[in-house]
Amino acid sequence: MNSSLQLSADGRLRHLLTVEGLSRGLITQILDEATLYTGGGRKLPLLHGKTVVNLFFEPSTRTRTTFELAAKRLSADVLNIQVAASSTTKGETLLDTLKTLEAMQVDMFVIRHEASGAAHFFAQHAAPGVAILNAGDGRHAHPTQALLDMYTIRQHKPDFTALTVAIVGDVMHSRVARSDIHALRILGAKEIRVVAPRTLIPSHIEAMGVTVFNELDAGLQGADVIILLRLQKERMVGAFLPSTGEFHRDFGLTRARLAKLSPDVLVMHPGPINRGVEIEGEVAYGERSVILEQVEHGIAVRMAVMGLILGSEELQHENRRQRAPMNHAPR
């Protein structure tokens, strides 16, 4: 998939389809910009008069609602469309949907679809000036999730070059894992590990610059950050695991396992969590967990992306000037 589609000739973000191909400078700019939006606060006029459509062909709770809140906090008009997912949805149907909605003068589409490449397809066919944000396409990419994950890590551990990050669980079916790996590489993480049973590790993943572990304790040894992934049964065709009970025994993050690790290790999960499968309930909301921070940061990061793509230069400048003193305000 062509990642240059998302950048204009002068390197600015036009769409956000994938983390792949973004520069460290651009990612850092998005994260810096997001610091302006943390902590809620009053509505900002950045997207006043713009229309954002959330077009979700797959279920979502936090991604859709945080995109909606982000757009509303920037004063956009927001429309939510939940389309019943059909595995046979094909290009022509998507194109018809896009053209129909475009006729309503939409400025930005936030799209989640079960097919890898759906957001690229929309970006290729969108009218000039219409922006596409990928909110998850199949197993391929989930760029805003990766950006909010990087934001959350950076709040606690600002030096990526010192970090060992373990991504644990259903890597095979996870667009979050792929986008996180790209982002961590671009930001210069010291070591990226993927930890899972053999059946849940995609072949050739080493080419992405990660080390593979098939045993949990070894994979967690010395980790600074643990990113857990949900077992994505809806994407599993056939048997990948003997049972979820066995998966929990061998790969679930429990209090006992956590106790053996560094006391300042961060526990992350994009949600929704499967309690008692990849994570023990008490670990999910325990003191090492930053899972709810991830949700909160999702709003700020999505505001930053939307503002950078759709906000006028003038309003963006004004916004930075007004909000800058709040930068890094203690929370």
Site residues for ligand NCD per CB under 6 A:
62-63, 136, 142, 145, 175-176, 230, 232, 270-271
- The CA distance from 212 to 127, in Å, is 42
Among residues 145 and 289, whose Cβ is nearest to ligand NCD? Answer: 145
To ligand NCD, the closest distance from the beta carbon of 30 in angstroms equals 17
Among residues 89 and 221, whose Cβ is nearest to ligand NCD? Answer: 89
Burial level of 328, CB count in 10 A (0-12/13-18/19+)?
Answer: exposed
To ligand NCD, the closest distance from the beta carbon of 227 in angstroms equals 11
Phi, psi for 81 (deg, rounded to 5): -125, 115
To ligand NCD, the closest distance from the beta carbon of 141 in angstroms equals 9
Contact assessment for residue 86 and residue 58, using Cβ atoms and an 8 Å cutoff = no
Host H or E run for residue 251: helix 244-251
To ligand NCD, the closest distance from the beta carbon of 63 in angstroms equals 4
- The CA distance from 318 to 311, in Å, is 11
To ligand NCD, the closest distance from the beta carbon of 62 in angstroms equals 5
- The CA distance from 33 to 287, in Å, is 28
Q: Is 40 helix (H, G, I), strand (E, B) or coil?
A: coil
Among residues 22 and 273, whose Cβ is nearest to ligand NCD? Answer: 273
Among residues 19 and 44, whose Cβ is nearest to ligand NCD? Answer: 19
Closest residue to ligand NCD, based on beta-carbon distance? 230
To ligand NCD, the closest distance from the beta carbon of 192 in angstroms equals 18
Among residues 34 and 44, whose Cβ is nearest to ligand NCD? Answer: 34
To ligand NCD, the closest distance from the beta carbon of 80 in angstroms equals 16
- The CA distance from 244 to 24, in Å, is 38
Among residues 137 and 224, whose Cβ is nearest to ligand NCD? Answer: 137
- The CA distance from 328 to 107, in Å, is 31
Among residues 59 and 188, whose Cβ is nearest to ligand NCD? Answer: 59
Distances 178 to 36, 108, 138 between C-alpha atoms, Å: 27, 24, 11
Among residues 15 and 64, whose Cβ is nearest to ligand NCD? Answer: 64
DSSP string for 48-90: TT-EEEEEESS--SHHHHHHHHHHHHTT-EEEEEEPPP-TT--
211-213 and 191-195 as β-strands: parallel, antiparallel, unpaired? parallel
To ligand NCD, the closest distance from the beta carbon of 132 in angstroms equals 17
Asked if the bond preceding 272 is cis, omega within 30° of 0, the reply is yes
